[in-house]
Amino acid sequence: MEDAPTVVPVEREDLLPAGILASVVLGSAAVALGRPILALVTFAVTIVLALGLLWLRFGFYRVRYWRQLQPDHVFPGEAVTLSLVLENAKPLPLPWVEVVEELPATLAIEGQQLERSPKPERKVLRTLLSVGIAERVQRRYPARATRRGFYRLGPTRLTTGDPFGLARARLEIEPGGTLLVYPEIRPLESFGLPAEHPLGDATPLRPLLEDPLRIQGVRPYQPGDSPRQIHWRATARLGELQTRLLERSAAPVLALFLDVNTFEHFWEGIRPGELEWAISLTASLASWGIEQGYQVGLWVNAPLVGGERFIRIRPGRHPHQLRHLLEALAMLVPHTGHRIEQLLSAEARLLTGGVTIVLVTALVTENLRRTLLALRQQGYGIALIAVGTSAGLLPRRGLAIFELEAERAPAA
């Protein structure tokens, strides 16, 4: 459980002390004038006002509130549990506490009708709690995450008061707790890619370097084989020329580039349905690449939430690589003015031989076509996936072309 923040009152009412003083003066006057009934009533009012002041001054003393989601890393449609916890550690009960919790609109609370929020992409959950002396109350809500993204819970407004409704104290709780929703991962054929060879003929023209000290086996000599790779002992034993098969010095590299631009000019905005579909496709390609033994890297011409201008994750095969890739895609902010061909040209120079570059884009420009052809000439394998647009290129050895139609998703 995360550390529970101590709340601080932000609203006070100063009418009760004046009311108490007035009722005491009036009661004393009633006693002096020999009016016992009036004196009894005024002193009863004094007690009620004093209790109201007590709750006003100490209602949120030694009170803690926090909220959390479990689990907080999920895929779209997966179930989560939202917990709202209120703890009262003093000998004064809280007969009622209204909790107004601000939540992301993409979090669907089962069985609850959330209220509108004046903030975009936010909704409000309103609930009423009662907390006794030295008691902790927890309210759990089953929920489902509906859309990719990184979301914060809160802020929260707490309101409490005395049982008579004479005064209220209001507290503001800072945001706390997050929810990260990964992109949806699907079989590649569901996007329209071939099931057996989803990258087509995107074999790199410049293969991986081979380690001359690691011999995998031998095969019959073929014209064009280097004489230095002839295995003379096997040749003598078998009576015909044999060529050494060397192990590659590293696993093949799959470099995923995602373009978030969907219009020629960035001020035209984006087509959210196509972009989210492309993000899901990129996540599915990353999952497939890891399963196939690739070192998978990711580059996106868009920033992370609170991060740098571009997403750059170097290729790797360590056990947490896929999680890093999915987290980056979940936290992607779809705003950019940077052209993907500039990112391609700059980053491809840092990649070694045996690299297959997969570009997912909904905007294929003439400059991008020239960049892809130049990279192919440099020995990179290229797979261009054009989403909802024409590629304007013909496939050839080392260059695979896919023109896919995105499933139309409703705009956010």
Residue 347 has pLDDT above 50, yes or no: yes
Instruction: Over range 272-293, report the average pLDDT.
Output: 93
Residue 317: pLDDT band (50, 70, 90) is confident
The pLDDT of 53-62, averaged and rounded, is: 79
pLDDT digits (tens, 9 = 90+) for 17-33: 666 666 667 667 767 77
d(CA 108, CA 248): 49
Q: Please give the residue that has the higher pLDDT: either 270 or 261.
A: 261
- How far, in Å, are 242, 271, 305 from residue 309 at the CA level? 52, 21, 10
Under a CB-based contact definition with an 8 Å cutoff, are residues 66 and 177 in contact? yes
Q: Where are the beta strands (DSSP E) in 290-336?
A: 295-300, 311-316
DSSP string computed for 7-38: P-EEE---HHHHHHHHHHHHHHHHHHTT-HHH
Q: Which of 376, 307, 302, 386 is nearest to 343 (CA)?
A: 302
- Residue 245 scores a pLDDT above 70: no
Whether residue 326 has pLDDT greater than 90:
yes
| Mean pLDDT, residues 191-220 | 67
> Per mean pLDDT, which range of 112-126, 197-211, 277-291 is the poorest?
197-211
Mean pLDDT of 267-286: 88
Identity of the residue numbered 11: E
* Average pLDDT for the chain: 82
Least confident window among 51-55, 75-79, 320-324 = 51-55
pLDDT at 215 > cutoff 60: no
Q: Is 154's pLDDT higher than 90?
A: no
Residue 136, phi then psi, degrees to nearest 5: -120, 130
Residue 13 pLDDT: 56
The arithmetic mean of pLDDT across residues 94-122, rounded, is 91
Both tokens of 257, joined, read 């580039």
Q: What percent of the chain has pLDDT over 70?
A: 81
Mean pLDDT of 44-52: 69
